[in-house]
């Protein structure tokens, strides 16, 4: 199951997982996700499903997970990817903006993790992949609410990994911390700040870190979803071309 799968990183994740043989459940508030699910199924031959899904809606999580359990007998992988980014500094951020951002990326991840545990236990275990960000490690004042939410995701991931291990659930939980990736959300953010979106195919000596491709993240998600990452648990995986170590 991939949330926020209609575009950007979620779209790339859904494609990559299906290409490797997964049955993929795509969810999003964007109805375009339905057409994408059909396109992926036709191209890969893998079954797909699409659910209209506001990740901050507790009841909707219950409904979707029940449908997955009913049809597939449980869940193997959850990619908590859905997100929004509002540009506003600590002084400019309104309470409504802060609550909206955190309802999607903090509460939404909490609800997803909680809903996934019983569904994964039915399958003997699973892998939860939470999309955090380098913003949880660095100071980005113009994305104040976003950084707060991603910091919560970072912390929840560790607590969930330890909890599931202590309970013997065989459920792993890791977080992905990407830098700037060439997605519609990142491009629109650059433009809103009056900046030219970088091109992942061009090297800029003034900005050697550059920008990644959605496929870069999807390949890491694939690894975390697979049994090859069986000993990777509670980890923060940085995908930022050394940005956070400079």
Give the mean pLDDT of 215-230.
98
Higher pLDDT, 208 or 124: 124
CA distances for 206 relative to 12, 178, 197, 198, 210, angstroms: 28, 20, 14, 11, 9
pLDDT reported for residue 218: 98
Cβ-proximal residues to 192 (8 Å cutoff; 6+ apart), any chain: 87
pLDDT at 30 over 80: yes
169 is catalytic: no
- Secondary structure string (H, E, C) spanning the chain: CEECCCCHHHHHHHHHHHHCCCCEEEEECCCHHHHHHHHHHHHHCCCEEEEECCCCCHHHHHHHHHHHHHHHCCCCEEEECCCCCCCECCCCCCHHHHHHHHHHHHHHHHHHHHHHHHHHHCCCCEEEEEECCHHHCCCCCCEHHHHHHHHHHHHHHHHHHHHHHHHCCCEEEEEEEECCECCHHHHHHHHHCCCCCCCCCCCCCCCCCCCECHHHHHHHHHHHHCHHHCCCCCCEEEECCCHHHC
Q: What is the pLDDT, as a whole number, of residue 189? A: 83
Average pLDDT over residues 101-124: 98
pLDDT in tens, 157-206: 999 999 999 999 999 999 999 999 998 888 888 788 888 777 788 877 77
Domain architecture of the chain: domains with CATH: 2-245 (3.40.50.720)
pLDDT at residue 210 tops 90: no
Least confident of 48-52, 178-182, 195-199, 224-228: 195-199
Judge contact between 181 and 213, C-beta under 8 A. Answer: yes
Flag whether pLDDT at 52 surpasses 80: yes
Q: What is the mean pLDDT of the chain?
A: 95
142-153 pLDDT, tens digit per residue, is 999 999 999 999
Which pLDDT does position 185 carry in this prediction? 84
Contact 5, 64 (CB under 8 A): no
Residues 6+ apart with CB under 8 A from 8: 181, 183, 184, 185, 214
- 143, 146, 169, 223: the catalytic one is 146
Q: At what angle do helices 8-19 and 214-225 cross, to 10 degrees?
A: 50
The pLDDT of residue 204:
78
pLDDT at 3 over 80: yes
Q: What is the rounded distance in angstroms from the CA atom of residue 58 to the CA atom of residue 32?
A: 22
- Distance of CA 88 to CAs 100, 141, 182, Å? 13, 8, 21
- Interval 48-68 mean pLDDT: 98
Q: How many CB atoms lie within 10 A of CB 17?
A: 26
- Range name among 14-23, 62-71, 197-206, 221-230 with the lowest pLDDT average: 197-206
pLDDT at position 194 is: 82
The pLDDT of residue 147: 97
Looking at residue 186, what is its pLDDT? 82
Nearest to 131 by CA among 199, 54, 224, 50: 224
pTM above 0.85, yes or no: yes
Cα–Cα distance measured from residue 41 to residue 116, given in angstroms and rounded to the nearest whole number = 23
């Amino acid at each position: 199951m991939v949330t926020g799968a209609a575009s950007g990183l979620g779209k790339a994740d859904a494609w990559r997982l299906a290409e490797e043989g997964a049955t993929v459940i795509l969810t999003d508030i964007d109805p375009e996700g339905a057409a994408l699910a059909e396109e992926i199924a036709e191209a890969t031959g893998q079954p797909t499903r699409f659910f209209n899904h506001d990740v901050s809606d507790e009841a909707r999580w219950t409904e979707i997970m029940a449908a997955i359990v009913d049809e597939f007998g449980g869940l193997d992988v959850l990619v908590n990817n859905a997100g929004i980014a509002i540009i506003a500094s600590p002084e400019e951020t309104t309470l409504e903006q802060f609550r909206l951002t955190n309802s999607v990326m903090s509460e939404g991840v909490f609800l997803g993790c909680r809903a996934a545990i019983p569904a994964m236990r039915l399958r003997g275990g699973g892998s939860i992949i939470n999309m955090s960000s380098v913003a949880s490690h660095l100071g980005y004042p113009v994305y104040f609410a976003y950084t707060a939410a991603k910091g919560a995701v970072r912390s929840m991931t560790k607590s969930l990994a330890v909890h599931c291990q202590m309970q013997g659930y065989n459920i792993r939980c890791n977080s992905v911390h990407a830098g700037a990736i060439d997605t519609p959300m990142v491009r629109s953010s650059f433009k809103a700040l009056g900046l030219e979106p970088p091109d992942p195919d061009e090297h800029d000596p003034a900005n050697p870190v550059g920008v990644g491709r959605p496929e870069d993240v999807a390949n890491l998600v694939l690894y975390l979803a697979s049994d090859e990452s069986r000993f990777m648990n509670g980890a923060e995986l940085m995908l930022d071309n050394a940005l956070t170590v400079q």
